[in-house]
Every structure is written in C-alpha cells, then in structure tokens.
Chains A and B, each alone.
Chain A
Amino acid sequence: MLKLLWKIFVIRFYVLNAGFFLFSFILIFGVVYPPQLIVVHTSLIYGIIQSNLFTAVVLFLWLLYNLKCIFFSVRIITREENTILYNMQAISPARQWILLLICHVTLYLPIIIYSFFIIYLSRRQGYLLYSNGLIFFQLLMCALGVYTYYFYINFAWKEVAIFRIGLPVIKQFGFKIQLPYYLVYYTLCSRKIIFFILKLTGLFLLNSVLAGDNDQFNMREFILVFMIDILIHSLLVYYYVEFMEKMISFTRNLPITRLFRFSLFLLTYSLLLLPDLCFIIIKGFQLIPIYIILVFYGIAIAELLLFTSTLYISSMKMKRYLQLIFSIYLVISLLTLSGYYTCILLATLTLTLYLFNKQYYKYEVFM
C-alpha cells in the first residue's frame, strides 16, 4: 500500500514541482558564495531566532508550503482516476494514519530538514521554549495534513468546504471572464499559493535592499536582488504557457492576431508585477528616481515576456528552459549594471517580439 501511495502522492509531487524546488534551492543556496554558505545560513537562522517578526514570516511561509502539499494531495485524492484510494477505508484508522503520515512527512520534508537546523541552533543558544514551540508547530503541520487526507478518504460522501478558497466577491457579482484576463483568473484560482509565495519572497528580498537610508543603499545590490525577484517569477511564466497550450489550446483555432495573443501575456505580467512596483515606489522613491523605477518595471515585464518567448522555442523542456532563463538573468543583470536601462528595455522587447513572432505558430505541445 505504501508503495502505491508513494507513487501516487510523493513521486508525482516532486516531479510536478521539480521546477519549484530547483528555484527554491537556487534561491536559498545558489545565490550565496559557496565557501560562505554555512556562515550565511547560520547568521540567517540566528536572525530568525532573535526576531519575532522574522520568525512569524518564516512560520507563515512554512504554513503556505504545507497548504501547497495538502491541496496537492486533496486534488489527487478527489481525482476520478484515483478512486482506488477509497479502498483504504478497509484498513484500520491507525494504519491509515501511519501510511498517510509517512506520505505527508515526505512531501513536507524540505521544511522539516531546515527547521531541524533551526531547532538545533536555538537549543544550543538556550532558547528551549522557542525550539519546543517550533517542534509543536511542525507536529501540528503534519497532523493537519494527515487529518485532511484521512477525512477526504474516509468521508468522501461529505460536502467539505474548508479548503475551497475561491473568489467569493467575483462569484457574487457574476463578472464575465474575458480572454485578456484568463491568465489572471488562472493565477488566482489554480496557482494562488505559488503566487502568494512568490510575492512574499519577492517583497521580502526587495525590502532587504530598500530598508536602509541613502548612505546604506547600494544600486548594484538593488539591481541584483531585483533581477532575482524577476527570475523567481519565471515559474509562473512556465505555468502560464502550459495553461495556454494545454488548457486553452482551442484558442489557436480562433481568429485572433499574434499581437493580441502576445498582449495577453503583457497585460498579465504588468498586473503580476504591480505589487513589486508599488513596493519599490513606496520604499525607494527617495533612493531611486521614479522614472528609473518605471524603466525597471518595464525591464521586468520585458524579461518575463522573453522567458515566455523562449518557452515557444521548439522542443523546449524544463531543463533547457532553466538553463536559458539563468543565462538571460545573467546577461540582463550584467547589462543593467552598466546603467543603460532604456537601451536594455528596448533590446529585450525587440528580441522578445522577434522570438514570439517567429516561434508561436511553429510550437507544438509534446503529447
């Protein structure tokens, strides 16, 4: 039974989220100079331990990741092809709990591993209550997951509304969803957890370089962090192209111009990056001129559009996509450091339009 659950939950989860994990890994460990990795993370952990606000942010991110695992598993359980899972009702509750606990712990493992180091260091520093609190939090997270799966498997006939986070306001007023906003709705309905994690991470990163005053502000540091903020959004870009080409591939049969199709992405990215723009304006208007902030906003949109266009290159796979976007990240970051912001914006946009125009009709989803 465990072998089956392993295949259905764990392997699928890690395969489907390979990109997410690679991004997270690079974000957490890749951006630090390797010999300083342990020092940086130890200081980071001490920072978490000593600041209540920092701890709250970390716990919130862990909760979001836990919810991501739970939503994924609930989707798996409620899928028609997985009705075989309801046969688990024939197993004793205790055994079910053990099996589901193993599955959930495996999904939640990256967080457990990192929190283990935090618990270890906090105990060494004498923060006993703090470390016990973290242990309790992780037990609670695991129990929440296992209880949810147990509930869905054993009470399948019951109407459950706990985890249906929808868009009540939009439902209430009955707005019509039009093609230009499909990607926005897709984000809010199907990718909301990823969206919130990306936004929080992005804003957290930006805050780290915009928190100081004029003397402490370093434009180069800001550019590099801003580019990482754009880079992490490439995960959503991947999901968007997947959505366009798999879920609404029928739109290719509609008489819509290529420019209009391109503008769907343009509109979505403009809205997607709006919180980052507002945050930079609010926190950094005294540090960076407004027109430069707007040009950066343009570069960010153009870069996401370039990521989109690269996904339309024939036979693009996740591995090749990652290689390409990291190359783009490096090139644009280095060029941006030169200070010719407007030229970089125009060059990126030109390349993007050229690629999209050339590749769009040649693209075919690999079945």
Chain B
Amino acid sequence: MIVFSNFKKRFKGNPEEILHIPGLVLDNKIYWLKGRNGAGKTSLVKSMAGLIPFEGEISVDSLTLNNNRMEYRLKVNYAEAEPLYPEFLKGSDLIDLYKYTKKAATHQVNLLLNRFGMSGYVNNKVGSYSSGMTKKLSLLLAFMGNPKLILLDEPFITLDPQALHMVEELIAEYNYNGAGFIIPSHQGFTIPGADPHISMVLDNKTILLS
C-alpha cells in the first residue's frame, strides 16, 4: 500500500509551482500516470524513488524515506525514462551493484538476462550500447530484488516490439506476485492477465484517479 501524506514538491526552476498531494492511498496495482509534458510526472516518481527531496511523507508498506531509508530503497525500484550510465562501466558491473544492494538472487538475474536477451552484450561497456540496449539494462535493474513498488518512467520508449511485449508480461507477473507499479507514460499499454490498470491524471499539479 502506498500512502501520500501532505506531499509537496516545489520545482527548482519555478519555486512558485507546487505539486501537492494532500492525501492519497494506492493499492499495489498497476497505475498508468498520465499528464501533459511538464505536469510533474517524472518529479513525482523521482520523489517516490528517493532521488530528489520533497516535503511531506510517502510510505510504501508502512516504510518511509524519513524513518526507514534503507528498507524503503530496498522495496522501491526505479527506472529512468532516458537512462544514462558512465561509459566505462559494463552492464555486468551495474548488475553486480544492484544484485548486491537490492539483494537479488543469482537465478533471478540469469532469468532476467535471458528474458531481456542481454546475455550476449552484458559484459560490454555501456558506452557501446544503443539507446534500446541501455533502456533494457535500466528496466532489468528495476526488476531486480524483491520490490514492492516499481516506478517505470516511460518504459516503452526505444524498445523493439518483442521487448515491449516481454516487459508488459513481466509487469503482469511481478504485479501478480504483489508488486505495485506506477508508470508515467504517453503511450497506452496492455497488461496481459492483470487487473485493468487505473489512470492517474496529473493535471494542474493535482492527481485525479479514474
């Protein structure tokens, strides 16, 4: 369960503009976060991922960033819309880092590598990856460990149709096993075998559920 209590995010470029969620309770479902460009979708998920500061509180299964910083980060995974990694690192270096910190099992890593079709180039430097390959790596990292909430910012851009279908399947499987998803996306998507997703519209810095 995800609970927002008096969440406020001020934007550095424009401090007068505030994204405010006074109170909101979300189940571990798949939420499609919609909103025009600049509505604050990425700022919201980055706040939830603990990447940027905010006022108020967000709790995931009663864990908050203020009180349970480590446990919260163990349970909340995040994939960026346009991931960027240091060119000198290999995909496997990043996977090892996530495996260690997110406490992921080796068989889970191997399974994800196979499903994303990354085994062939995971030992190459990230600098040699195409944008689609980097996107796959970022998504793979977001599925590692035992997350309760996965935040996928624009997960379907730059993916080929096969990978796109596989990610939708993976979302359904993880959701079936109890993980919630918040997916800011301009593209529509279908999740096979999952509950109909709920639209969260971020409009005029307010969230509307439908």
Contact = CB atoms under 8 A, between A and B. Distances in A.
Contacts of B71: 255
B101 A255 contact: yes
A185 B85 CA distance: 13
Contacts, number: 77
Given A185-B88, A255-B74, A367-B12, A250 B80 contact: yes
A252 interface: yes
B111 interface: no
Interface of B: 12-13, 49-53, 69-71, 73-74, 76-78, 80, 83-90, 92-93, 96-98, 101-102, 123, 141
Given A255-B70, A364-B12, A186 B88 contact: yes
17 contacts: A176-B90, A178-B96, A182-B89, A185-B88, A190-B87, A243-B86, A246-B84, A247-B85, A249-B51, A251-B97, A253-B73, A254-B73, A255-B70, A256-B101, A315-B12, A363-B53, A364-B52
B93 A254 contact: no
Nearest to A188: B88
Contacts of B83: 250
Contact of A177 (B53, B69, B78, B93): B93
A257 interface: yes
Interface residues of A, number: 30
Interface string A244-285: 001111111111110000000000000000000000000000
A255 B102 contact: yes
Interface of A: 174, 176-179, 182, 185-186, 189-190, 243, 246-257, 315, 361-364, 366-367
Contacts of B78: 250, 253
B12 A179 contact: no
B101 A254 contact: yes
A253 B50 contact: yes
A250 B96 CA distance: 14
B73 A364 contact: no
Given A250-B80, A253-B77, A361 B88 contact: no
